[in-house]
Amino acid sequence: MFRHNNDKDGLNIIIVGCGKVGRALVEQLSKEGHYITIIDKNSEKIQNLTNLYDIMGIVGNGASYSVQMEAGIEDADLIISVTDSDELNLLCCTVAKQVGDCSAIARVRTPDYSKEVSYLRDKLGLAMIINPELEAAKETARILYLPTALEVNSFAHGQAELIKIKVPEGNTIDGMTIAHLGRKIAPNILICAVERDGDVTIPAGDYTIQRGDIISFAASRKVAKQFLEDIGFKTNQVGNTMIIGGGKSTYYLAKLLMNMGIEVKIIESNRQKCEELSILLPKAIIINGDGTDEELLKEEGIETAESFVPLTGIDEENVMLTLYARKVSKAKVITKINRMTFKTVLNDLDLGSVIYPRYITSEAIVAYVRAKRASRGSDIETLYHIFDSKAEAIEFRIREESSVTDVCLANLSLKKNLLIAFINRNGKIIIPSGNDCIRVGDTVTIVTTHTGLKDIRDILS
């Protein structure tokens, strides 16, 4: 039943669970040349995926020893369990670790377990435990900390950021070249990518910024805030937020926001959930009511709320709530999309910042898989797909000397459409010039429209 991938570079990967994250993983990992077997109890889901991609499918219980044997666990490099049940995911990985010599990744979402992640990971010998709700909450909190940003990706353990903004009409930098911006306004930031009319460019110094451009710039956290202020963007974090829905995502987000000193109001229709949340989050205001009721929203202050985050389990509801909030208030709005595939339609709607938890999860796993597949010269610490996966931002940790270390960047022949955004040297963030060089021990973040880079040496042409 199990056949090896001819691509000697590809890994044998077993994915248990064909839900949203399972699908996103199959899509990304099969594109990167890995040999994939999926396991799910639902034969229709298996059929759909095996018709779309060149992968193997097995119908059955992923935690069963015989099903794992049939899937080729003895030859597998990695098992990833992303079913809806935390317990089943942990059990799948435990069984796999007993039988095969493979790495194991489990999705674990329940708040009870999230406090014990490092204990579980160490005791069960897992490579990674991922929690999409918690990661989505962290991303949302970063944006509410800097509400004029559309997106905030964090690197170097939060010390450096890649920030996405839309250039408004009449802004200082409208009509300015990137070289001029670097010389006159902000020498210590770097514009890494620009999206104009749906096309993404890694710009050179002579590129002229125009109103309506969506730009992504790299900077240390402190400098980023200063730059936004200098070009006329408000940078103070929001003072309060209204969240619709009382699921796991809401719990994680409310906890993070209250730690930042932001007031939180939650509207949830299920009375029992409201009671649970009021015990877990004693400082939050919890309203038991229908968050899609216009009168209730107005009564609870949507028109004056500084930020608004719909986290119902239903994408369509989240989108409608976002559009409504944009109509009646000036709130910073963040839309969480779980499964919608109509990306082109969504991009035409003015939804503010959009967060896709399944992609956040698959990015963390893809980063791990690429690092596992690469030589040991460098590891991937962080990976983000930006601009709807048209570009990637990757942070490499430099473990040993190679053809890219101790050479002035000006003398490296880098691939086209690739830019070194920043170097983190012992916690100091360097926005590099041609005279800087990469050293062993650094982490280096690059932004590129090429996909699939897995080693720092892949940046050379």
Give the pLDDT of the chain (461 residues) as one tens digit per residue.
444 444 457 889 999 999 888 998 998 888 888 999 999 999 999 999 999 999 999 999 999 999 999 999 999 999 999 999 999 999 999 999 988 888 899 999 888 887 788 888 888 888 888 888 888 898 899 889 888 888 888 888 888 888 999 998 888 889 899 888 888 888 888 899 999 988 898 998 889 999 999 999 999 888 888 888 888 888 788 899 999 999 989 999 999 999 989 999 999 999 999 999 999 999 999 999 999 999 999 999 999 999 999 999 888 899 999 999 999 999 999 998 887 666 667 667 777 788 888 778 887 888 788 777 655 556 787 788 888 778 889 899 888 888 888 898 889 888 888 999 999 998 888 888 888 899 999 999 999 988 878 888 888 98
Residue 1 confidence (pLDDT): 42
Confirm if 307 and 332 have CB atoms less than 8 A apart: yes
Helix (H) or strand (E) holding 397: strand 391-398
What pLDDT is attached to residue 376?
54
Nearest to 434 by CA among 254, 129, 252, 182: 182
Q: What is the chain's length? A: 461
Predicted pLDDT of residue 92: 94
Q: For position 224, what pLDDT does the model report?
A: 87
| CA atoms of 25 and 198, how far apart (whole Å) | 25
Look at residue 351 in the predicted model and tell me its pLDDT: 77
Position 366 scores a pLDDT of 82
* Interatomic CA distance for residues 397 and 379, integer angstroms: 5
Question: Tell me, what's the pLDDT at 68?
Answer: 94
Q: Please classify residue 197 by burial: count the beta carbons closer than 10 Å to its beta carbon, then call 0-12 exposed, 13-18 middle and 19+ buried.
A: exposed
Question: What pLDDT shows up at residue 340?
Answer: 60
Amino acid at 246: G
* Residue 164: strand pairing partners: 151, 216
Domains of the chain in start order, with CATH, are: 12-130 (3.40.50.720), 240-355 (3.40.50.720), 374-459 (3.30.70.1450)
Instruction: Using alpha carbons, list the distances in angstroms from residue 289 to 245, 248, 292, 324, 452.
Output: 10, 18, 9, 18, 46
| Radius of gyration, alpha carbons of the chain | 23
C-beta of residue 105 within 8 angstroms of C-beta of residue 79: yes
- Three-state DSSP string of 41-102: CCHHHHHHHHHHCCCEEEECCCCCHHHHHHCCHHHCCEEEECCCCHHHHHHHHHHHHHHCCC
Give just the sign of the alpha carbon dihedral 436, 439, 445, 450: positive
Parallel/antiparallel/unpaired status of strands 240-244 and 263-268:
parallel
Whole-Å CA distances, 348 to 183, 198, 273, 345, 352: 35, 11, 35, 5, 11
pTM over 0.85: no
Q: Which SS3 state, helix, strand or coil, does residue 153 take? A: strand
- 329 Cα distance to chain centroid: 28
Q: Could you give the CA distance from residue 143 to residue 147 in angstroms, rounded to a whole number?
A: 5
